[in-house]
Structure 1
Amino acid sequence: MEKSFKSIGAARKLRQTATGVLLRTRAEELEITVLKEDLIRVTMRRQPQPRKSAVSNAEIPSCAVVRHDLATVDVEITESPTDINLITRKVRVRISKSPIRIGFHRPDGIAVCVDTATSGMGWTEDGAACFKILPAGTRFYGFGERTGYLDKRGTTMTLWNTDTVHHTPSTDSLYVSIPFFIGFDGGQAYGVFLDSPGKCVFDMGKNSPGEYMFQTTGKKLDYYFFAGPEIRDVVEGYAALTGTMKLPPLWALGYHQSRYSYCPQDDVEEVARNFRKHDIPCDAIYLDIHYMDGYRVFTFDRETFPDPSGLISRLNDMGFKAVTIIDPGVKVDPKYKIYKDGLQKDCFVRRPDGELFEAKVWPGRVVFPDFFKQRVRTWWAKNHKTLFDVGVRGIWNDMNEPSCFDTESRTMDLDALHGEPGMEVPHAEVHNAYANFMNESAREAFRALLPGTRPFIVTRAGYSGIQRLACVWTGDNVSWWEHLLMSIPMCLNMGLSGLPFVGADVGGFQSDTDPELLTRWIQLGTFVPFFRNHSAVDTCRQEPYLLDEPHKSICRDFIKLRYRLIPYIYTLMHRAATSGTPIIRPLVFEFPEDEKTHGIFDQFMLGPSIMVAPVYQPETKCRAVYLPGGEWFDFYTGKVIGGNQYILAEAPLDRIPVFLREGAIIPLGREMNFVGEVAQELRIIDICPSRDTPSGKFSLYVDDGETEQHLLGDFGFIHVSYDMTQDGRFSKLGISVDTETRNNKYCASLPVESIRIWDFTQPPVKVSVNGIGVRPVGGKPEDAMRKLRTQQGYYLDKDSNRLYIGAHKNSDEIKIEVVWMD
């Protein structure tokens, strides 16, 4: 327990409300409110004191919580001389009166999350804190961007957005702070979100094994309890409270290439030409800070980038989108338009004495926009016109922790002020939220200047709610094998923390990569939501076309696989945008009943159906992989392997272990050099039936991938289902494909070329497409496959036990029937 901690005392006054209770102690006010049947809010603050200044009592409204329109919930409130209970169908909250202690229980009375008897809630010298009982066996996931393993039990964490160099497993603060965690006891889960954008500290049983603690330097303790009971329930509940990601443009799912920096502009064009020359798909090229005039934001260096409009036009002709970096620091330069305009409009952060806060960053002396003011966000948004007018279509917000080179804290002075006059708050209380409001300004820029165009914004820093505004990468990593491995649990915990659109710099940003490391990282990146290769100045170039064989061909093959997977990944993004479900998930998310999955951090699920086991050591030829219960299908060979066991999976240089889960339905699209190069179609629909899963369904999400018309109903689903039945000596597999369109003016139908059925060991007796029998295709496997690209028919590949059926129909209505003799 903190040495300075002082627990709150007994309740002196109590008042029931329709959905909760208000309590007063000698010095505090507490409010416990039932927001939903499985969501409780607890707020503790000191009783109002006479105001010494406008600053002292001001608060910035939460930038995390967006759901203020929660439906009315039925709450039963009971009271006794010693406690008061708030009861819903999913949780029972017991509040002891003297001293005040709060316990969250299952409806059956089992304790889930309970204040310690000795401490509970109270105050330290720095702010408010809460101590909870830590049962044996409870694991903790989440906390946003953290190094180390997936399970955070036994660790202490300081959540304070920090520009960190060379992070290691013991590094504490990083770029993104999400004060939300999931507690999981092996059977049931709950969640806690501490809504505090200042510095937060979590001690998950390190200093006192029987308890855990969370603490904020803010003026109040404001946390939300999610009752679960599944991990999925907690994650989706948090997303409902803080908002979900917005669907990005479809090109954002492709491969992206970046470097600090591509300069001059001829270098940018050369990179683009080489991707096309070497037949390696790529959708976006990033311009780092050297495109600017002396690092002045919203400018181009006219010597090195004399024709930005022409450059980007030529990139567009080759199928590339341009993404430009933006830093918040504005150079102090009386001749610089942005600086002069911002001064005139009072847009910059000031010190308590009224002077501008200045610090040193890349341009030299800079000032910072006060994004906590709406008018400043609007002003900053309008400045994006310089970039959008020349064709830029993606914004990369960097250095927005915010990072400062010459201050003691490496960020803004803690007493720098944010907010409108009379309502200012010190930077210390809102530090982690600075990036959120910067990214809100970027979204406003898209709305105002490119209406109807889906924003693509990537940010280095953020706080809870950042998922609504931008995708996130894990910052300045290093070209180390250890960082390849570290990126897996980092991205998984970010996904569990409401950030589904995440990724790490492929190949590593700092230091020199090598061909094997880059190849293995590209293999991993193929299955990660945000797929960007990025490297630093003075490091070796790491564009995949520069690799010698066989590394170049392997990278090409995996990047092409990424593009074939885009229909599947985009559907997962739609689910994330709808419910907050992570795109990549730790095994415990899909298999919580399997104790062996609870700590696994070096393999993951892409959606519900694809398991990926990356290679993260040099010269690896095989690696251990855990397969949970059920049957699993080797992605490369088609071999069926029983689950609930560890296996030694082959992992030569040209592959990483990938397995399809029984019951999987995976739609694969076309190969293309960039999204939109050719019209999308479903090249293959993979179906993995098994005896334990004789039926299954997958609904593929479809929209135009570019505009925001999907918000008006222009989208649809392609439903794929199968059903396997037995009739005496014969087995029958029925496959159905149909299209559902929500708006009759929009057509979501796609051509379907082939169906591929896995674990098919017996020659079919009959195969029909829409009631018409089709004939087998003969010849060598490669010849048969080539024929099925253009005609109906079927072919059984006996080496992989996969049955290929050429369908060649639109997805509006396809009925396939396969009959065989057991």
Structure 2
Amino acid sequence: MSHDLTTFERELPDGGSIRIHFLNGQTARIQLCPKKREPEESALNRYGFIQESPAPIRVQLQETAQTVTLTAGELHLSCDLSRGLVSARNNERHLLQMTAARFSRDSASVEFAAIPDEDWIGFGDQTRERLYHRGHTAVCDVSNVASYIPVPFFMSTQGYGILVNTTHRTVFDLCRNRPDSFGWRDRRGVIDFYLFAAPTFKELIRLYTGLTGRPKLPPEWAFGLWYICRMQANDAEVVNDALNLRREGIPCDLIGLEPGWMEKHYDLSVEKNWSSERFPLPEWQKNCRHTFIQALKRMGFKLELWLCNDYDLSYEEERRLDKQAVSAAAETAVFHEGAEQDRHFAEPVRFDRITRPDEPWFEHLKQFVDWGADLFKQDGAFQVCSHPDRLFGNGMTDAEMHNLYVLCYSRQMWEGFADHTNRRPVVFTPAGWTGFQAWAGTWTGDTGGRLDTLGAMLNTALMGHSWLTNDMEVAEKEGIHFGYLLPWSQINSWSYFRMPWVQGTELSAMHRFYSRFRSRLIPYLYSWARQATLTSEPLLRPLTLEFQQDRNCRNVLHEYLLGRDLLVGIYRNELYFPPGRWKDAWSGEVVEGGRALPVTWPADRGGALYCREGAIIPFGPVMQFRGEKPLDQIELYLFPGTNVSEFELYEDDGVSFDYQKGCCHVTPIRMEQTERELSIRIGPSPAESARRWSLRIALDHPPQAIGAGMEWNEERRELTVAEARPGEFRLLLR
């Protein structure tokens, strides 16, 4: 029979219960609870980091004395009513079979049968050594350096994904102890997970981010270079660094200050202020044109300030739920070094001497935004630390709050800045948990900028995360190549002299080249960034995400796609090229894919860069900062393939939320090649009379005729068209 109820609930013979709730024909939530414990929302549900939006769907139910089978769309779930064990299939394709569910005093565990050829990817940044995890364990619990962004979400080669609905420490065993079994143990004490069914990783990521949030479009300047000054810098050194960036011709959009900007080192309080010695800024100078901040602004720089945080963010989360009274436990028990304090002589004295329960964390940051701060770097300090003796204002202990805290921090920062400025925020943090991709951009923390940081980024990209970077290794050719060819790019001097202009003649020249190359590439990056907000396909893509059926891509940890059309290789002289043709951006050589090949690059480059067959890559003019000049010139780099290729050049004001009201423009670009003809269509485009278009087209042979304004480069086998108008451009081939 069928019914309109999307939720099935049943008490089990052992006194426990099972609850199955369909959100749509591809997603269901499954909960098993032990005796005397009712199904409940997790902290992720409570605070809206998971937002269920059920679609109207009819559920078919078939029940016998021992089993119930529920069907919604293509997803079929069967439950053994004697033990509460669930199996799933997607139409005729088997997905998974639960074999055990166990409960103890402080945890719950579940096991599933593992199919011999099955493997799993996901889990975020909890390892940098692999993308596929069969034969390993995965520990999801935020910790400094080792595990900044663990996420209890994973995907199977069998066509399903699982999100464990918890903020507690969770340990996954992926056939490590038993070759035929996988599962997890959750300290929350219940079994609660979302099951997604789809044939590809891309579709599974889309389902996951549909539940936990898609990335939000940052301001355009976030895709320019960021330069972070030395911790010891004062206002004069900061302005001098800014001047040197401009004089050296190194495009840069942001200047950042490390902890030395504060009067008190690592000030956790809401009473922090500028260092009176390094950055003397009396209140009466706030609207003065002659502060170091206004000098930076006149040169086109944004300003970043470093932060550390141990504030109790749970009060604000409760306030947002319109619950003015926090939990009774938090009000009546005062904790200090793990023991309650005597309340006989006075009002309670809080062990937490930082938090103002009636004041959101962002409130005290508004004054710095008003001074000119454009973002705050949320250092890992304290947010990644455990607090085993702490009772938070919402009544949670650290067991539940530790992994949740990093999410609250990012969301409160994003929403606080947006509400105060009505500008798109940039949240910058090394830490995250389920749904972090909806609120934050990240760097890889205190792990440097070499090869192993890519493993962290690839694993977080598989969570639908796009805004990521590391601390560039500025004194290595390979590190420069890698650092400039990421979704975001930053140089962090920290406590050293990492200025590009002091790295010697050869490396300084490389910084100038790569920074200018990146500046020209921003129209491409920004357009694919907009696509990431719509589809959750990350801006930095593991090869296995784009070429899922190619097993040779599974263990590639030194290559990635930047957007759809650029293949970046780092630190190694051999690349695996997926099937298709790939053109060396440095030499112009074309290679056939489907194999691993040795690669070289020029002495003044730091790694490999290839264009994918079918590539459409818009290059803009070099700008020392975004908005320095109009985007009035676009060069399209085109590498025609056997299939039709399309690209959408995205433009808006780069700062405000007006794009959400339709104040933006998309210029479609289409390319099709046959044996006899190449057709390129541009437009319609905004400001057609003002913008100049030029083309650089990779071809196997020169065209039949080379007209006025065209030039053939035999060495690179490329045709340059000096001027192309919006509309259709046709080229006769041999």
TM-score higher than 0.5:
yes
Who is 2:396 aligned against?
425
Aligned to 1:569: 525
Aligned counterpart, 1:796 = 712
Which amino acid is 1:27 matched to? Answer: G
Matches within 5 A, 1:342-361: 354-355=333-334
**Judging changes above 3 Å, is the alpha-carbon distance between structure 1 residues 445 and 289 closer, same or farther for their aligned structure 2 residues?**
same
State the AA in 2 paired with 1:439.
S
Residue of structure 2 in register with 1:137 after alignment: 117
Deviations along 1:538-565, whole A, 9 cap, x unmatched? xx32122211121111122112111111
2:223 is the alignment partner of 1:307: no
Q: Distance in 2 between matches of 1:150 and 1:629?
A: 20
TM superposition shift of 1:570: 0.9
Amino acid at match of 2:112: K
CA distance, structure 1, for counterparts of residue 21 and residue 381 of structure 2 = 34
Rounded to whole Å, the distance in 2 between the matches of 1:652 and 1:802 is: 19
Amino acid at match of 2:159: A
CA separation in 1, counterparts of 2:311 and 2:409? 13
Given that residues 38 and 226 in structure 1 are in contact (C-alpha distance below 8 angstroms), is that contact kept between their aligned partners in structure 2? yes
**In structure 2, what residue type is equivalent to 1:18?**
L
Judged with a 3 Å threshold, the aligned counterparts in structure 2 of structure 1 residues 740 and 753 are, in CA distance, closer, same or farther, namely: closer
SS of the residue 1:115 aligns to: strand
Matched to 2:376, the amino acid is I
Structure 2 contact 577–593 (Cα < 8 Å) conserved: yes
- Quote the offset at 1:63 in angstroms: 4.2
Q: Which residue type is aligned with residue 307 of structure 1? A: L
Mapped to 2, the partners of 1:313 and 1:346 lie a distance apart of 43
Candidates 435, 459, 469, aligned match of 1:503: 469
- In structure 2, the partner of 1:818 is 731
Deviations 1:603-637 (A, max 9, x none): 11112211111125xxxxxx111111111111122
CA distance in 1, matches of 2:163, 2:236: 48
Letter in 1 for 2:419: A
Cα distance change of structure 1 residues 368 and 708 upon mapping to structure 2, 3 Å threshold: farther
What are the within-5 Å matches in structure 2 for residues 73-472 of structure 1? 73-108=57-92, 110-116=93-99, 120-146=100-126, 147-164=128-145, 171=146, 174-184=147-157, 188-259=158-229, 261-295=231-265, 296=267, 297=269, 298-307=272-281, 310-329=291-310, 354-355=333-334, 367=352, 376=359, 379-399=360-380, 402-403=383-384, 410-419=385-394, 424-451=395-422, 453-472=423-442
Structure 1 residues 61 and 236: alpha-carbon distance in aligned structure 2, compared to 1, 3 A threshold: closer
User: 1:383 is paired with a residue of what secondary structure?
Assistant: helix
Q: Label 1:354 to 1:278 Cα distance change in 2 as closer, same or farther (>3 A).
A: same
Corresponding residue number in structure 1 for 2:341: none
8 Å contact from structure 1 (residues 162, 401) kept in 2: no
- Deviation of the 1:450 alpha carbon: 0.9
**C-alpha separation between the residues in 2 aligned to 1:107 and 1:41?**
18
Q: Distance in 2 between matches of 1:740 and 1:195?
A: 45
Separation in 1 of the partners of 2:255 and 2:454? 24
Deviations 1:7-43 (A, max 9, x none): xxxxxxxx98722421212332221112111111112
The residue type equivalent to 2:683 in the other structure is D
Is the CA contact 1:732–1:818 (under 8 Å) kept in the aligned structure 2? yes
Distance 2:98 2:42 in 1: 29
Say whether the 8 Å CA contact 1:204–1:213 is kept in structure 2: yes
What secondary structure is seen at the aligned counterpart in 2 of 1:555?
A: helix
**Displacement, 1:718?**
0.8
The gaps in structure 1 that reach 5 residues or longer are: 1-14, 51-55, 165-170, 332-344, 360-364, 404-409, 508-512, 617-622, 742-746, 767-774, 777-792
Contact 2:710 2:721 survives alignment (8 Å): yes
**C-alpha spacing 1:671/1:262, structure 2 compared with 1 (3 Å):** farther
Query: Whole-Å Cα distance in 1 between the matches of residues 209 and 704 of structure 2?
Result: 47
The AA in structure 1 aligned to 2:308 is: D
What is the aligned partner in structure 2 of residue 45 from structure 1? 33
Distance 1:529 1:128 in 2: 39
Alpha carbons 1:506, 1:532 under 8 Å: kept:
yes
Residues 231 and 57 of structure 1: CA distance in aligned 2, closer, same or farther (over 3 Å): closer
Distance in 1 of aligned mates of 2:634 and 2:351: 52
The alignment's TM-score, normalised by the length of structure 1, stands at 0.80
Determine if the alignment matches structure 1 residue 733 to structure 2 residue 673.
Answer: no
Residues 155-203 of structure 1: per-residue CA shift (max 9 Å, x gap): 2222221223xxxxxx4xx22221111112xxx5321101211211111
**Alignment partners' CA distance in 1, 2:20 and 2:565:** 40
Match of 1:724 in 2: 673
Aligned length: 696
1:703 to 652, 668, 672: 652
Whether the 8 Å contact between 1:348 and 1:367 is mirrored in structure 2 is no
Alignment of 1:386-785 (within 5 A): 386-399=367-380, 402-403=383-384, 410-419=385-394, 424-451=395-422, 453-478=423-448, 484-507=450-473, 515-516=475-476, 519-537=477-495, 540-615=496-571, 623-655=573-605, 656-690=607-641, 692-693=642-643, 695-726=644-675, 731-739=676-684, 751-765=691-705, 775-776=707-708
- Whole-Å Cα distance in 2 between the matches of residues 384 and 648 of structure 1? 51
Distance 1:353 1:57, change over 3 A: farther
Q: Which amino acid is the alignment partner of residue 665 of structure 1?
A: I
Report the CA distance between 1:131 and its aligned residue: 1.0
Secondary structure at 2:666's aligned position in 1?
A: strand
Post-superposition offset of 1:214: 1.5
Cα distance in 2 for residues equivalent to 1:504 and 1:748: 38
Letter in 2 for 1:492: L
SS of residue paired to 2:683? strand
Conservation of the 8 A alpha-carbon contact between 1:523 and 1:558 = yes
Cα offsets for 1:757-812 (capped at 9, x unmatched): 1024124426xxxxxxxx43xxxxxxxxxxxxxxxx11111111100112254xxx
Q: Once the two structures are superposed, what CA deviation does each residue of 1:484-511 show, in whole Å capped at 9, x if it has no partner?
A: 111112101101113221122212xxxx
Identity %: 24
Does the 8 A contact of 1:143 with 1:179 survive in 2? yes
Tell me the amino acid that sits aligned with residue 452 of structure 2: M
- Compute the displacement of 1:454 (Å): 0.9
Letter in 2 for 1:526: Y
Q: 1:418: how far off?
A: 3.4
Q: Supply the AA of the counterpart residue of 1:136.
A: P
Matches of 2:19 and 2:4, distance apart in 1: 10
In 2, distance between residues paired with 1:61 and 1:486?
A: 34
Q: Distance in 1 between matches of 2:7 and 2:522?
A: 46
In the TM superposition, what is the alpha-carbon distance from 1:253 to its structure 2 partner? 0.6
1: CA distance between counterparts of 2:548 and 2:34? 40
